[in-house]
Amino acid sequence: MKILVCISHVPDTTSKINFTDGDTKFDTNGVQYVINPNDEFGLTRAMWFKEKQGASVDVVNVGGAETEPTLRKALAIGADTAIRVNTDATDGFSVAKQLAKVVKDGGYDLVIAGRESIDYNGGMVPGMLAAMTDANFVANCIELEVDGTNAKAVREIDGGKETVSTSLPLVVAGQKGIVEESDLRIPNMRGIMMARKKPLNVVEPVDTTSETTTASFEKPAPKGAVKLVDADNIDELVNLLHNEAKVI
Amino acid sequence: MSVLVYTESENGKFKKAALEVVSYAKAVADQMGTTVTAVAINADENDNLGAYGASKVLSVKDGSLDKFNAKKHAAVIEQAAKNEGAKVVVLSSSANSKYLAPLLAVGLDAGYVSNVVEAPSSTSPFTVKRTAFTNKAFANTEINTDVKIVGLSNNSFGIVEAGGSASVEDFSPSIPDSGVNVESVDKATDKVSIADAEVVVSGGRGLKGPENWGMIEELADVLGAATACSKPVSDLGWRPHSEHVGQTGKPVASNLYIAVGISGAIQHLAGINASKVKVVINTDPEAPFFKAADYGVVGDAFEVVPTLIEKLKAFKAQNA
Ligand SMILES: Cc1cc2nc3c(=O)[nH]c(=O)nc-3n(C[C@H](O)[C@H](O)[C@H](O)COP(=O)(O)OP(=O)(O)OC[C@H]3O[C@@H](n4cnc5c(N)ncnc54)[C@H](O)[C@@H]3O)c2cc1C
Ligand SMILES: Nc1ncnc2c1ncn2[C@@H]1O[C@H](COP(=O)(O)O)[C@@H](O)[C@H]1O
């Protein structure tokens, strides 16, 4: 089985979010980048397929050279080959277009992406990629088994979960659950050394346009100070929630 | 040229999010000088949608659509949009709508923007405000394609009664085969889900152990709320993973979010900040959550929560 794991390169969860150029660009100053958490869960599941079922695992990112340390980290965790499509990720559609080319060229059977990137939160790349490559698609995937060309997955739904059967070629959008947090691997020295020797192939992008463009960013309006209610005066809290906030 | 809206139902009944997306679609249609057509699958009482602004409802009745299937449902909406010559398609942020949206976007060659929180600021260029960076910011995004798909964030626009009426037409699209088959569904039917909830009551490590969740559930019960928890609580196995909210868990966009014994770490706040009114109950006045909250009680959850339950019950009895 040939597996491709899509890796989005995102600001670490504690990053301060600021903008420059008249609020049109994300300010990368001092920002630490990491593998998108949802993708890290997916990559770890892919390693399980590699070890238990002899799958090959490649990772891919659509982005500039600045994303290479993130791809190297994925190699250090255990991926075989990394691919970087050399163009800026401008919107979900254009990223999916680039990935579709990689999937077709590489003849991948299973693509594991994440539920959403924690920066743009589009939640759209995996589904678009599935539609563009005529693959089956399972979103919010929290369990995945593959047997030959058949797959069984569990998907989180609002208020519960659902078990589905499907077949390869398949794209899943994974999240915590596809492996547990305790299964995540911190690259060790040997992994890091080996990663330096593994191929990181830079491929040129296909011609495509963005369907959406971000004209500007805004930060939420500063919040007013919290209204403290005395623990002995919970009646007042009920009153405020009813008469002032109008939420009960 | 109308605005098309997909109105989700469960067991024949429209979900609240369906009424909200119709209200939103009506606002968009007014801006564009057109009308709203809803597409409803196996729903009863289709004419109810008129009250929220739909002029027409395309009613699809098909047993093969009883279980949600992203590809089949997307195909239905795609055909409805093409039939109507719709330029804008509005969807909710339910797990199912988010599942089908990218498939629909490819099918319609439509630009798709998710997590939208307001009516368009302009319809030419078509510009919507969406959350980004997990609620730490907003992005004003233009959709450049002829057909546009807007995914509306739950509880962001509200339900608006327009007081009109809708004509209902039968619609029989062709349903494609799908390579994904639902084998079983495991869903608590007696509980409000976090996604659908207007009120969410959430507990953190300050509650000390799973045996203390009775009062959280009771508080949720009184408020008709869903229960949620911080990440360590689900990691410790005190509560199921499905209740974990925050940046790496489920997003919460409720009208009221009550956090009990949660410190308010940045990763927690990121996922719940879209909630309108936040209440925090915490013993530590220095807990970061107080900076993000609207109302706060500095106190011991084991005293404050039972009192709050009692006061809410009294309030409900009085206002019943
Ligand atoms: C990559 C990454 C992703 C993460 N994603 C998430 C996420 O999605 N969601 C999430 O929640 N966290 C997430 N976290 C974890 C986050 O950083 C915090 O560790 C976590 O939110 C803390 O949970 P807590 O507030 O329940 O516990 P604590 O930080 O231990 O806080 C407990 C609070 O309870 C209060 N307390 C104690 N006793 C009482 C009492 N009797 N009555 C009232 N209050 C009391 C204390 O004063 C304290 O403020 C993430 C972390 C990382 C590194
Ligand atoms: N630039 C990118 N390169 C590779 N994969 C990506 C990229 N952007 C998004 N993805 C994948 O698509 C998933 C969902 O991303 P999004 O649609 O941006 O929320 C991510 O978790 C990644 O697996």
Q: ipTM of the predicted structure?
A: 0.94
Burial class (CB in 10 A: 0-12, 13-18, 19+), A105: exposed
Q: What is the DSSP string of A172-194?
A: EEE-TTSS-GGG-----HHHHHH
| Residue in chain B lying closest to A122 (CA) | B114
Instruction: Kindly state if the Cβ of B284 falls inside 6 Å of ligand 1.
Output: yes
Summarize pLDDT for A57-108 with one digit per residue, the tens: 999 999 999 999 999 999 999 999 999 999 999 999 999 999 999 999 999 9
Look-up of token digits 């994974």: A174
Res. B192: pLDDT tops 90: no
Which tens digits make up the pLDDT trace of B25-60?
999 999 999 999 999 999 999 999 999 999 999 999
pLDDT the model gives residue B248? 87
Contact residues on chain A for B293, CB-CB shorter than 8 A: 226
Q: Is residue A247 classed as helix, strand or coil in its secondary structure?
A: coil
Q: Is the pLDDT of residue B141 over 90?
A: yes
Give yes or no for a cis peptide into A69 (omega within 30° of 0).
no
- How many of the other CB atoms lie within 10 Å of CB of A197? 7
In this prediction, residue B198 has a pLDDT band, given cuts at 50, 70 and 90, of very high
For the Cβ of A63 lying below 6 angstroms from any atom of ligand 2, the answer is yes
Dist. CA B111–CA B25, nearest whole Å:
17
Please enumerate in sequence order all residues whose Cβ is within 8 A of that of A147, keeping only pairs 6 or more positions apart, or say none: none
Distance CA A13, CA B134 (A): 9
Residue A205 beta carbon below 6 angstroms from any ligand 2 atom? no
pLDDT greater than 90 at residue A221: no
Q: How far is the CA of B247 from the centre of ligand 1 (A)?
A: 12
B56-75 pLDDT, tens digit per residue, is 999 999 999 999 999 999 99
CA distances from A206 to A86, A102, A107, B55 (A): 10, 10, 17, 43
Topology of domain B199-318 in CATH is: Rossmann fold (3.40.50)
Nearest Cα residue to B180 out of A141, A115, A48, A92 = A141
Q: What is the pTM of this model?
A: 0.94
* Averaged pLDDT for residues A23-38: 95
Distance of CA B7 to the CA centre of its chain: 12
Q: Which of B279, B300, B302 to mutate to probe the A interface, most A CBs <10 Å?
A: B279
Task: Give the pLDDT score at B35.
Answer: 98
The answer to whether the CB of A168 falls within 8 A of the CB of A109 is yes
Helix (H, G, I), strand (E, B) or coil at A61: strand
Closest CA to A36 of A131, A233, A175: A175
State which CATH number among 3.30.70.2190, 3.40.50.620, 3.40.190.10, 3.20.20.450 fits the domain covering B3-170: 3.40.50.620
Give the pLDDT confidence score for residue A129 in this predicted structure: 98
Mean pLDDT of all residues in A127-140:
98
Per-residue pLDDT for B164 more than 90?
yes
User: Strand, helix or coil at A147?
Assistant: strand
* pLDDT over 80 (residue A148): yes
Residue spans per domain, chain B: 3-170, 199-318
Contacts with B154 from chain A: Cβ below 8 Å: none
Contact yes or no for A218 and B106 at CB 8 A: no
Choose among B182, B229, B184: nearest CA to B210: B229
The tokens describing B245, both together, are: 């909210």
Question: Strands B126-132 and B137-143, how do they pair?
Answer: antiparallel
Amino acid at A165: S
- Separation between Cα atoms, residue A41 and residue A174, nearest integer Å: 7
Q: pLDDT at position B171, please? A: 98
A230 to chain B: which residues are within 8 Å by CB? Answer: 297
Within this chain, domains B3-170 and B199-318 share the same CATH topology: yes
- H, E, C per residue of chain B: CCEEEEECEECCEECHHHHHHHHHHHHHHHHHCCCEEEEEECCCCHHHHHHHCCCEEEEECCHHHCCCCHHHHHHHHHHHHHHHCCCEEEECCCHHHHHHHHHHHHHHCCEEEEEECCCCCEECCEEEEEEECCCCEEEEEEECCCCEEEEECCCCCCCCCCCCCCEEEECCCCCCCCCCEEEEEEECCCCCCCCCCCEEEEECHHHCCHHHCHHHHHHHHHHCCEEEECHHHHHCCCCCHHHEECCCCECCCCCEEEEECCCCCHHHHHHHCCCCEEEEEECCCCCCHHHHCCEEEECCHHHHHHHHHHHHHHHHHHHC
Amino acid letter at A245?
A
Of B309, B285, B311, B315, nearest to B297 by C-alpha is B285
pLDDT of residue B319: 87
Mutation probe of ligand 1 site: the residue of B135, B136, B200, B205 with most atoms within 8 A of C-beta = B205
Helix (H) or strand (E) holding A71: helix A68-77
From residue A113, how far is each of A61, A105, B129 by CA, in Å?
11, 18, 26
pLDDT for residue B320 is more than 80: no
CA angle A236, A238, A239 (to 5 degrees): 60
- Interface probe for B, chosen from A212, A236, A244 (most Cβ of B below 10 Å), is A212
Collapse the DSSP code of A205 into the 3-class scheme (helix H, G, I; strand E, B; otherwise coil) and give the result: coil
pLDDT score for A121: 85
Mean pLDDT of B281-309: 98
- Residue A222 — pLDDT band, cuts 50, 70, 90? confident
Distance CA B95, CA B36 (A): 23
Helix axes A92-106, B95-108, angle to 10 degrees: 80
